[in-house]
Chain A
Amino acid sequence: MLLGALVLIGACTKTEAPARAFQINSRVELIGGVRALGDTDSAPRDATDLIGGKRASGADGDFKLSNGVMHAIIQNVGTSRGFGSFGGSLIDIDLVRGGQASSASGVKGNDYFTEMFPAFFLTALEPAKVEVLADGSDGKAASIRVSGRSGAFISLVKAFTEVVDPKDPLDFTCDYILEPGKQYLKIVVTVTNNGTRDASWGLNVPFGFVTLLGEGQRLFVPGQAGFDMRFHLEDVYKRPASLDALPGEVTSMWATEGDGVSYAFVSGQNSAGSYLQSERAVAGNFYPTANKDSILIPIASSSFLGTYFAKAPQMLPKGASYSYTAFLAVGSGDVGSVQKIVYDMRDVTIRPNGREFVVRESTPYGTISGYVREAKTNQPLEGLSVVLKDGAGNYVTQATTRKGGVWTAPVPAGKYTGYALDRVRSVAKSAVEVEVTEGGSATLNFELEQPGDLSVTVTDERGQPLPAKITVLGVYENEDPTLQPRQFFYDLKIGERLRQSDLITDSAADPASREYVEKFFYANGAGGRPIRPGKYTVYASRGIEYDLQKQDIEITSGKTTNVGFKLTQVVGTPGWISADFHVHSIKSVDSDMNLEARVTSFAVEGVDLVVSTDHNYVADYGPTIDSLNLNDWLASSVGLELTTLEMGHFNAFPLALQPGPVQHGSFRWFFRPPGELFAQLRALGTDPQKTVVQVNHPRDTILGYFNAFNISGYTGEPLPGYSAVSVDTKPLPDGGLSPYDPSNFSREFDAMEVFNGKRMDIMFPYRIPAVPPPGPEPTVARCGPGVPANTDCLPAPGEILNEVVKIEADGGFELQPVQPGAQDDWFILLSRGQRVTATGNSDSHGEKSEAGLPRTYVQVGETADGTMRALDEDAVFAGLHAGKALVTNGPILEVTVNEQGLGSTVVAADGVIDVHIVARAAPWMDLKRVTVLRGGRDAKVPVKLEVIDVPDTREVNRLDVVRRYSNIPDGSFIVVEAAGEESMWPVHTAYEVPSLEISDAVGVIGSSFGFSPKFGKYKPTQRQIVTPYAFTNPIWVDRTIKQPLRVQKRILPVGNDVPFVPRVMPDVRKLFHGFHSDPE
């Protein structure tokens, strides 16, 4: 009988699939998904079928863990395929889909994870080896080990790491462990001092992880932040920081909410203690809410999430090790599903003395569940979000409603209120507070209003369907002009979407000052969306060549409102096409815009040519344009944005997409000088000599090439590193030149993105505003008599704010704008005779950054007119190389000098030129002035030949004049610009919420070290409205005919099959000391 019972128990026990660890040698074993690489349209058919997703960051040669429940991929050594520097990171992680339990089957996945790697304060692990430590064949946990030495993943912070890190490099291992049946990875990081002397850290140093979630996973941090870490961290940064306590959010975990997959990260307890409960942190009461397994998040933006919790030992003796542990769980899409895994998690290790050590203790919880229905129809609502807040005001969890409108979430015992929301209804707040006990359950139901529907048709003047952008504008109520809409109109903490506003100071008396975008969408001749009931104004637009039409409407619950528009092209541009040479899609880790929406966004903005330039990924938008039948409106070319971490971002196009490699041709950039990168980018081109290499946003924080090399905004020459936060230009350990050495600055590029998106702040140098902004006062004196020229000072309003750069070589100094402008950099290049074409591109990553804002018009010839199916791609890039290009976000300029157009060289022996200027603009934008500029060898900063006031009219033709200028020196160039002053709202929305950047994190950490901004409140602001602006590429003026010098461009073939060699060389001295010897 006992035997029978045992047999019965055995039969009823569910068989658990074993965990496995192995190196991938077939694409069958990759994890698919939207975040996974592998282009459906261009990859070989067999590979596509095997991967099953749109992008795969895993590749042959990487390492995989799987247990039939979840699986993960760790990249082999090399350069990061995410956003970091090195390989060896966790790059894919997902549930095993489709009910398949085989740990190595080719499943259709939903990986939405970009990258995670251990971080030791600001130092990372530079992997030299990845290996299977335990393959799981014994039925126990499977594990993969990444080992290597410490290495700075951002050399910008070397000044800090040199102060705090041990003098000798340490050896690190990172073990990724997966147990059978578990839905989480255990990650154990071990630091070992294999050096010949003891290692010590100069400060209280935190250890943890850096995670790059990418767009599509919305970060939820339990506590006061909820879904709004962006503004919450800004508030946190205002708190006092200390050398012993980095500023940041203290919480129990971070989690995400995403489409079908979600993640949560928690720390394990570490025997050496917690950073947040270190003696110094406790003594200073820096983290009063921290407990033994709290984590600290000092930085969180869409692409970069820092999580610290372990405390480095103050001293690690020779031969000693130190370990810390963390866990990463995978859920089914909402925060609740992944929190449940975390709460159930219990991890125990056995110490050498035989005693148990609890690394992670489970958390008792109860369950709240309910349903969400529509009020009038009683229909269950699926896919809505429910957020729960506890009695102390902390946002605790989020759940997504499933079929039948039901939802469930685990919560610690306590009292809760809830919110139910989606994108088309007003938020429903629970009328009652529910209480739940440990192990108990409670119910919370919601009813939401029924939206109305808006249906729109758009035609051209001949009645033909026309792609157009539909913007639905509302007016909110507000009587306090000091408040931002997020403070009273919507709640980012519960996950409500941001509604863009006009950035005009609110006035209770003026509704026009309180406008916001309730909804916008793309209509390819026709379209519609559900909308919250209310009164709105609907706008139809099609970019800068078309007029703008509007209608007032009222949306009623449950009813459809129909609106028809007719748009007219009012500004013709025969022979020219408009192009955007810098855009992103879901193929980039920081964009969640699918290809259909991506290409449609360009068609509705009237852009003729889009060049795909995804981060470190060669993509082809052509098949998507075909499938949507948008070819008459839009053409595309294949390109790439080679994205380095701190050397700059560089585009290349038109490229040949390579179907085989995972990133279709993108290559390793780490630690290569820019000249080599440019030559390698050319090699990817369909015709390498004709490839356009473009430097993007050269003055955008650490993402800017010219900033990385400290290029003077006045001379164009590299300056010595003048900031505490500068890239490392010291010679390499092997004595070779640093890739950042000033001599490595290369000008072998063809185009420069002078105008990037809505970023006027990086196109022009920062000047002191007439009205002082709020904020701390500067610590420097006002410039004037008595203030030495080599001392930082505050100039008068309207003047460029400079800082003094000391030149150690000769004891002198130079001035450098605090924020140099890309346009001045371009002018300096032109003055040297370098024919670099200026471009303007949107750098759009999503719907909120408008496609084609700004754009570059290129003179192409007859194929520019009519259908874009016939566009001559060669002519476009030849025109761009030749500088036959106009950069604009609205106004159109036609300029000739002595009847020759942009990019031409005019020979004016007598130095007299006739400049013909025609300025046109759609009626919905203003134009105030046109400026004629002359630069040249004698004028690095161009001189204004004339400022011409534009008549105050909304007619399309604003100006048509011929101006004669004399005494034009040999080697000059003429550039004409046009500008308006009024906001282009609502066609072009304002740049309202800049994301927190890595530089913000560096700045915060810098402030911990006592670096305070000397200019206080005077600093560039990204938050700004969009006003009309355009400028031409130059027309060159010589006194004599000169034969142009033509030099073949350098090409360096890229070998994707060249094996990666770690930079770590054996330490011969260490090997010698390891040799056993006998006493003499």
Chain B
Amino acid sequence: MGSTAIRNRALLLLGLLVATTAFGHPSGFHKKLTVTLTKTKVSALIVMDVDSGDRCLLLREAVDSNRDGLITGLEVTRLKEQLVKLATRPLKLSISTAPIALVIKETKVSLRDDPRANDAALSVAVLVEIEHAHPVSTGMEFELEDTSPDQSTIVLQVFQEGVKPFQEEVKSGVKTKVRFN
């Protein structure tokens, strides 16, 4: 399969994503962000699960470059990159309106024990660690805005020492603010 085919599959995938955006349904993408805030850095774990179905089939088939029906080696890496991009591209972080750039430290992908190029579910985990470029003090605000590929709600947990954690299911595309303790 040449690069055109890959591009076509990617377009198909994009179309499907747009369709899910338009219609929105409970099964699809499940995104959870676990964030810890300290005075020196922001750490976050982004986990995105993709329910089994056409999206996974498209995603898996798109990276099965040798067409052996199995996702292995570099294909896994490529699948991971796709998923990481999907999970992190819409994420916008800022501190008291000053944007901060996302620093991805490590990533992981899970084929859910099924390496075939089929419609089995997928998961991706992204570890983000961002050292503050400027001092952060009590009263400043951590701002987070994320969009789920299918516009479904996102589970957001923000932890700070000695403060009750912020734990809510936030709407896709809506900015959430958490005060630094």
Contacts and interface: CB of A to CB of B under 8 A. Distances in A.
B74 A1080 contact: yes
Contact of A1072 (B77, B127, B157, B161): B127
Given A1066-B34, A1069-B43, A1071-B45, A1078 B109 contact: yes
Interface in A733-782: 733-736
B162 A1063 contact: yes
Contacts of A1065: 36, 159-161
Interface string A1036-1064: 00000000000000000000000101010
Interface string B110-122: 1100010000000
B73 A1080 contact: yes
Contacts of A733: 38, 161
Interface core residue of B37, B73, B127 (most chain A CB under 10 Å): B127
A1077 B125 contact: yes
Nearest to B138: A736
Interface string B34-55: 1111111101110100000000
B106 interface: yes
A1072 B160 CA distance: 18
Contact of B159 (A732, A1066, A1072): A1066
B15 interface: no
B134 interface: no
Contacts of A1076: 108, 110
Nearest to A672: B162
A1061 B162 contact: yes
Contact of B127 (A736, A1063, A1069): A1069
A1061 B165 contact: yes
A1071 to B, nearest CB: 5
Q: Which of A1065, A1068, A1069, A1078 has the most CB of B within 10 A?
A: A1078
B80 interface: yes
A463 interface: no
Interface residues of B, number: 37
A997 B161 CA distance: 32
A671 interface: yes
B76 A1078 contact: yes
Contact of A1077 (B40, B109, B159, B160): B109
B110 A671 contact: no
B163 interface: yes
A757 B145 CA distance: 61
A1068 B108 contact: no
A76 to B, nearest CB: 15
B164 interface: yes
A1080 B80 contact: yes
B88 to A, nearest CB: 14
Interface in A384-427: none
Nearest to B132: A735
Interface string B81-93: 0000000000000
A1065 to B, nearest CB: 4
Contact of B38 (A671, A735, A1079): A735
Nearest to A1076: B110
B110 A735 contact: no
Contacts of A1072: 45, 106, 108, 125, 127
Nearest to A737: B39
B35 to A, nearest CB: 8
Interface in B16-63: 34-41, 43-45, 47
A732 B161 contact: yes
A693 to B, nearest CB: 23
A1071 B80 contact: no
Contact of B110 (A736, A1066, A1069, A1078): A1078
A671 B163 CA distance: 13
A789 to B, nearest CB: 38
Interface in B159-176: 159-165
Nearest to A670: B162
B72 to A, nearest CB: 8
Contacts of B73: 1080
A734 B160 contact: yes
B171 to A, nearest CB: 23
Most B CB contacts (10 A, CB to CB) among A732, A733, A1068, A1079 go to: A1068
Interface string A656-673: 000000000000000100
B149 to A, nearest CB: 20
A1071 B45 CA distance: 8
A1077 B127 CA distance: 13
B39 to A, nearest CB: 3
Nearest to B71: A1078
Interface string B143-163: 000000000000001011111
Interface in A716-735: 731-735
Given A1061-B162, A1078-B109, A1068 B44 contact: yes
Given A1061-B164, A1072-B45, A1078 B115 contact: yes
Nearest to B76: A1080
Contacts of B157: 1066
A785 B109 CA distance: 73
Nearest to A1065: B159
A1077 B164 contact: no
A1078 B109 CA distance: 6
Given A1068-B127, A1078-B110, A1080-B73, A734 B44 contact: no
A426 B51 CA distance: 85
Contact of B111 (A734, A1061, A1078): A1078
Given A1069-B127, A1072-B127, A1061 B77 contact: no
Contacts of A735: 38-41, 136
B113 to A, nearest CB: 8
Nearest to A1070: B45
Interface string A516-556: 00000000000000000000000000000000000000000
B114 to A, nearest CB: 10
A1059 B38 contact: no
Contacts of A731: 39
B166 to A, nearest CB: 12
Contacts of B109: 1077-1078, 1080
Q: Which 5 A-B pairs have the closest CB atoms?
A: A735-B39, A734-B38, A735-B40, A1077-B108, A1075-B125
Interface of A: 671, 731-736, 1059, 1061, 1063, 1065-1066, 1068-1069, 1071-1072, 1075-1080
28 contacts: A731-B39, A732-B39, A733-B161, A735-B39, A735-B41, A736-B39, A736-B181, A1059-B164, A1061-B163, A1061-B164, A1065-B36, A1065-B160, A1066-B34, A1066-B157, A1068-B43, A1068-B45, A1071-B34, A1072-B127, A1075-B125, A1076-B108, A1077-B108, A1078-B76, A1078-B109, A1078-B111, A1078-B115, A1079-B76, A1080-B73, A1080-B80
Given A1068-B34, A1075-B123, 8 more contacts: A735-B38, A736-B38, A1066-B34, A1068-B43, A1076-B110, A1077-B108, A1078-B111, A1080-B76
